[in-house]
């Protein structure tokens, strides 16, 4: 059974380096530019981890200008086998409430300004044309471990859900929010795409812990999403995401991932037409 390494992409306020022991900062660059910040190498109960603050440690990068390609490339180069992302999100459905966790299993892409592939003929590091399958964007086995851990911790959560990623930086209108409900999306954020698709292009096992902070804009009987509301709910619940990571990462490391890693790398390799 090979050793695994877990990349943690910390969303706003969920990028606390103190969750890692034996921390060491490493500044890296990639053929696609610089990642959002330094990589923080360390361990969680003996499991090798690499933490990256998606929006930078000083939270200076808004979702449209995050260099997702550099982030994913840097984590792959550092030897990660898995990525666990954390993100805040708005609820689009009656049964998903602020403070709850959704272990999303699918997405709808409503982004418009992002670099969606490594294979865009700009770098020799990724040559050819890539059409990566997206029938299973999130690693089901990692999600299953996360689900059992969130359950054991006693946090209210949903085993699956569809995330709609909007371009932002503005929040959605009422009409957009209602439309997303009709499309049967469960939650909305600004960062899952293209993070998850780029991870797939390089064969990483990706899962996301999405923390609901608001009801977006569709509910007439609740305050519509605004920064103050989202941040307040998030602050009340941020420790949940950290506790899930601390509990789940050693459990993930107990399993044998050799076949999953091999399969995902083969999917990535076979998706490129040279």
Binding residues for substrate: 190, 214-216
C-alpha–C-alpha distance, residues 269 and 13, integer Å: 35
- In whole angstroms, the minimum distance from the beta carbon of 161 to ligand ADE comes to 14
Q: Which of residues 131-170 bind ligand ADE (CB under 6 A)?
A: 166
- Name the residue with the smallest CB distance to ligand ADE: 90
Number of Cβ within 10 Å of residue 3's Cβ equals: 10
Closest residue by Cα to residue 209 from 241, 248, 249: 241
Site string for ligand ADE, 180-209 (x = CB under 6 A): --------xxx-------------------
d(CA 15, CA 222): 29
Candidate residues 107, 171, 206, 218; the one interacting with ligand ADE per rule CB under 6 A: 171
Q: Residue 116 class from Cβ within 10 Å (0-12 exposed, 13-18 middle, 19+ buried)?
A: middle
Is 214 among the residues known to form the active site?
Answer: yes
Exactly one of 214, 221, 256, 258 is catalytic; name it. Answer: 214
Q: Least distance to ligand ADE from the beta carbon of 225, Å?
A: 4
The answer to the question of residue 230 lying near ligand ADE (CB under 6 A) is: yes
Q: Should residue 257 be labelled a site residue for ligand ADE when binding is judged by CB under 6 A?
A: no
- According to DSSP, the residues that pair with 107 across neighbouring strands are 163
Residues written for the chain: 274
Return the beta strands (E) in 82-228 as ranges: 82-91, 101-102, 106-110, 129-130, 157-158, 162-166, 187-189, 205-214
Query: Which residues are catalytically annotated?
Result: 214, 216
Binding site for ligand ADE (CB under 6 A): 88-90, 166, 171-172, 188-190, 213-214, 216, 225, 230
């Amino acid at each position: 059974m090979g050793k695994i390494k877990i990349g943690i992409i910390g969303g706003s306020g969920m990028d606390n380096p103190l969750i890692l022991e034996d921390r060491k900062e490493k500044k890296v660059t990639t053929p696609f530019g610089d990642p959002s910040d330094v990589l923080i190498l360390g361990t969680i109960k003996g499991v090798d981890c690499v933490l990256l603050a998606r929006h930078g440690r000083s939270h200076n990068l808004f979702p449209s200008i995050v260099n997702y390609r550099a982030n994913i490339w840097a984590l792959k180069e550092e030897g990660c086998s898995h990525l666990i992302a954390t993100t805040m999100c708005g609820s689009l459905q009656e049964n998903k409430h602020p403070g709850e966790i959704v272990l999303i299993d699918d997405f709808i892409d409503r982004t418009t300004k992002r670099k969606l592939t490594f294979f865009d003929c700009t770098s020799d590091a990724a040559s050819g044309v890539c059409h990566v399958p997206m029938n299973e964007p999130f690693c089901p086995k990692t999600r299953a471990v996360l689900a059992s851990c969130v359950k054991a911790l006693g946090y209210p959560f949903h085993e699956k859900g569809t995330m709609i990623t909007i371009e932002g930086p503005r929040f959605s209108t009422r009409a957009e929010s209602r439309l997303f409900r009709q499309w049967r999306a469960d939650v909305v954020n600004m960062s899952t795409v293209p993070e998850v698709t780029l991870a797939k292009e390089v064969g990483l096992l990706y899962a996301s812990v999405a923390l609901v902070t608001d009801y977006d804009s569709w509910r007439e009987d609740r305050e519509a999403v605004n920064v103050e509301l989202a941040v307040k709910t998030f602050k009340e619940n941020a420790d949940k995401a950290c506790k899930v990571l601390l509990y789940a990462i050693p459990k993930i490391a107990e399993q044998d991932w050799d076949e999953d890693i091999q399969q995902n790398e083969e999917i990535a390799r076979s998706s490129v037409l040279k």
